[in-house]
């Protein structure tokens, strides 16, 4: 790698570092919690809660164990997360009548509708952004972002 290309990579890395917090804020502010609660501070969803909503919106009904595995958290943390979401009316919990130890979790109808609206909005925004940059390969960008996330979480080989 030449000094000029190394300098360009360093500048690009610096730009990305500065943009990541803006991306996080933009995603957070456009997420279901904002519309669901009309800004009631106590009812806003945390980042982890939003991640659970996205997971459930894609997966539908899951067991508590599946939710914990999908979010890469422990079962106790998943149980606490679901309790908080249930308190906010975002999810419902149902015990399996055949085995009371098994709890399934689903999004409320309102949360499903809000998630669908937000995903449609995000999809439109992403499609519009890609239209501005036809040379960018979406698959490469997704792979890159997954790699960045893995590195940020301290799991570079993930």
**∠ CA 20-143-10 to the nearest 5 degrees?**
50
Q: Give residue 5's pLDDT band: very low, low, confident or very high (50, 70, 90).
A: low
pLDDT by residue (tens digit) across 134-157?
A: 898 888 988 988 888 888 878 777
- Render pLDDT for 109-121 as a digit per residue (tens, 0 to 9): 988 888 888 788 8
How far from 34 is each of 41, 46, 122, 151, CA to CA, in Å?
Answer: 10, 11, 14, 29
Please, what is the average pLDDT of the chain? 82
**What CA–CA distance (Å, rounded) separates 57 from 55?**
5
Closest to 88 (Cα-Cα) out of 39, 36, 47, 38: 36
Contact 54, 115 (CB under 8 A): yes
Query: How confident is the model over 97-104, as a mean pLDDT?
Result: 88
- φ, ψ for residue 104, nearest 5 deg: -105, 150
The CATH architecture one would assign to domain 31-152 is: Orthogonal Bundle (1.10)
For 154, counting Cβ atoms within 10 Å of its Cβ (0-12 exposed, 13-18 middle, 19+ buried), the class is exposed
Is the confidence at residue 103, as pLDDT, over 80?
Answer: yes
Q: Which pLDDT score is estimated for 39?
A: 42
Residue 86 confidence (pLDDT) above 90: yes
**What's the pLDDT score for residue 87?**
93
What does the alpha-carbon distance between residue 147 and residue 137 come to, in Å, rounded to a whole number?
Answer: 15
- pLDDT of residue 72 exceeding 70: yes
Q: On the CB side of 157, how many CA atoms lie within 13 Å of its CA?
A: 0
pLDDT for 40-55, tens place per residue?
444 678 878 888 988 9
């Amino acid at each position: 790698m030449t000094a000029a290309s190394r300098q360009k990579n360093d500048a690009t890395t610096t730009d990305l570092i500065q943009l990541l917090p803006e991306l996080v804020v933009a995603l957070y502010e456009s997420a279901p919690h904002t519309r669901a609660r009309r800004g009631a501070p106590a009812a806003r969803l945390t980042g982890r809660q939003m991640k659970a909503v996205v997971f459930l919106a894609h997966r539908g009904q899951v067991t508590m164990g599946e939710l914990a595995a999908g979010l890469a958290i422990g079962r106790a943390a998943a149980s606490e997360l679901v309790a908080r979401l249930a308190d906010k009316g975002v999810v419902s919990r149902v015990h399996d009548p055949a085995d009371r130890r098994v709890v399934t979790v689903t999004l409320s109808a309102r949360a499903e509708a809000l998630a669908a609206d937000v995903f449609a909005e995000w999809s439109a925004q992403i499609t519009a952004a890609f239209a501005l940059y036809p040379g960018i390969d979406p698959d490469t960008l997704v792979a890159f972002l997954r790699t960045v996330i893995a590195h940020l979480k301290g799991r570079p080989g993930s």
